[in-house]
Structures are given as C-alpha cells and as structure tokens.
Amino acid sequence: MTYLSVNGSTKLYGIIGNPVNHSFSPEMQTRAFQYHKLNSVYLPFPIQEHDLPRLLDAFKLIGMQGFNVTVPYKERIVKFLPELSEEAEFIGAVNTVKRTHKGWKGFCTDETGFALSLEAQKITIKNKRVLLLGAGGAAKAIAFALSQQKVRQLRIINRSEENALDLKTKLLNIDNSLDVAVNTDVENEFDLLINTTSVGMKGDECPIGEDLIKKCKNVVDIIYNPPITPLLKVAEKSGIRNFNGIDMLLYQGVAAFEIWTEMAAPVEIMRESLKNSLAIVK
C-alpha cells in the first residue's frame, strides 16, 4: 500500500455510529482516497446519542469535510441537517453528509447503492414485478429506487402491517399511479424478490416460505454477512439467480465517495477492500 503523508492540509472524513468499530468503510474509503492520491483520512467516530445535537458544530470546528452515518443514527441525524437531498427527504434517513457553504447536506446513498447493484447484475426494474420484504430504513431506500425506475407492480410484505402501510402512503405521495399493495395474497410471479429484513442475519431463518421464493425469477438478500443466507440457499437450490448485499454496500460507498470528492470512485479497489474485510471477520 502506498503511504501518503498526513500534514497540515490533510482533509478529514469519517463515519459516526454506535458501535462503529465493525464498519468496513474506513478501510474502503481510505483505499479510494489513496488510489486518487488525495490527502485525506477517514476515521471511525463512536458517538453517544446525547452528543448528537452538538456533533455538527464540533465537526465544523475540526474541519470535517464529510462523513457517513450508520446504525443507530441514520434517522436521528436528519433533524440536525439544514439541507437534505430529495431521496433523503423521502426516506427520512441519511447515511452520507457533506460539508457545504450553507453548512451540511444529507444524502441517502443506500438508494443509489441498490440501483447500481442491480445494474451490475444487469437487472432492470422498469415494468417489472417486485416483491419487497420489509418496511424499515433499507426498504424505504430501495422502494424509492424502484419507484424512480418505474416498477410495474410492487408488493410489500412486512411483519408490522402499519409500517408497510406507511411506506405505501409515502410511495403514493411521490407517484400516485404506482401499483403498490401491502401484505396481500401473492398470486402472480415476480421478476425480483428483495429481502430487506434482518431475518437471516443469524444464518438460521428464512423470511418467507419456499413456495413464494419459487415464484420469483431473481432473489436479492441485502444481508452480506453471512454471505449466503437461508433465503439465498433456497434460491440457489431451486435454480433461481440470486445475490447478496455486498454490491449494495459497495455502491453506497462509491456514491458517498463521489458526492464528497466529485471524482470517479475506484470501484474495483473498493470491492477488493470489502472482500478482504469480510474474509477477516469470518
């Protein structure tokens, strides 16, 4: 690895969360900065909830240029930000913040991350039927991407019907012609099934039954650790094309890097970094 010196002109970036020491982003973003020989560092900042209100002032004082936001602050940071991108406004969550002349602007690159991960798999959404599992923050980002790409039919299944109905209302507010329904009987086949719930993270549970999985032509589970969830195992066994959330994680980072630097992110270098990080934690 090339060593770039740290000096009085070094720019500061980082990630806030709690915990944050598990994050793969410091390594991935540092690789990207180094590739472009940018004099920048990216550090993890474990932040306590009660410090959030004064965080942006503190970051301003120390010259922070931009930062990522992870669990549990993606939604809680929103009210402190003077400006939000359109998708962050819709999703109600922010994972990327950039220093601007007005102060700070919040973005949600999970939406772009998902869209680019489909593009990498050569999957198009326009006029397709999609079954979405979950209605939390990640589901909102993905649903926004799907509605932007003019999905033909969206069916949402979620444990709490109330949360799914909230998501449906939000979607109809931006496009009232969208064919969207919640927890209905699923009769037809789907081009794509997307799991955004945390079911499968512990490696032993599948979010829906095999019958429903077999009605789908493609399956994506946004979980990336473990890399093969029970859902993906069923899909694989049934001969259904499937992939995990590693590309979504990669491309949300790619989009964040490009927002901060306005330079093309070195995608393959960042992918390599994620693969190495995953190999270490396993």
Which x/- pattern, by CB under 6 A, does the window 154-193 give for ligand ATR? ----xxx--x------------------------------
d(CA 77, CA 81): 7
Q: What are the DSSP calls for 81-150, one per residue?
A: -SEE-HHHHHHT--SEEEEETTEEEEE-HHHHHHHHHHHHTT---BT-EEEEE--SHHHHHHHHHHHHTT
Q: Would you say 29 or 158 has its CB closer to ligand ATR?
A: 158
Contact with ligand ATR (CB under 6 A): which of 120, 198, 230, 258? 198
Residue 135 is a binding residue for ligand ATR (CB under 6 A):
yes
CB of 277 to ligand ATR, least distance (A): 19
Residue 197 is a binding residue for ligand ATR (CB under 6 A):
yes
Residue 206 is a binding residue for ligand ATR (CB under 6 A):
no
Do the Cβ atoms of 91 and 252 come closer than 8 Å?
A: no
CB of 8 to ligand ATR, least distance (A): 38
CB closest to ligand ATR, residue no: 136
CB of 123 to ligand ATR, least distance (A): 21
Residue type, 12: L
d(CA 80, CA 52): 8
Eight-class DSSP state of 245? T
Contact with ligand ATR (CB under 6 A): which of 14, 26, 44, 134? 134
Token code pair at residue 115: 């869209």
Residue 30 is a binding residue for ligand ATR (CB under 6 A):
no
Eight-class DSSP state of 51? G
Q: Active-site residue 74, yes or no? A: yes
| Binding interface with ligand ATR (CB under 6 A) | 134-139, 158-160, 163, 196-199
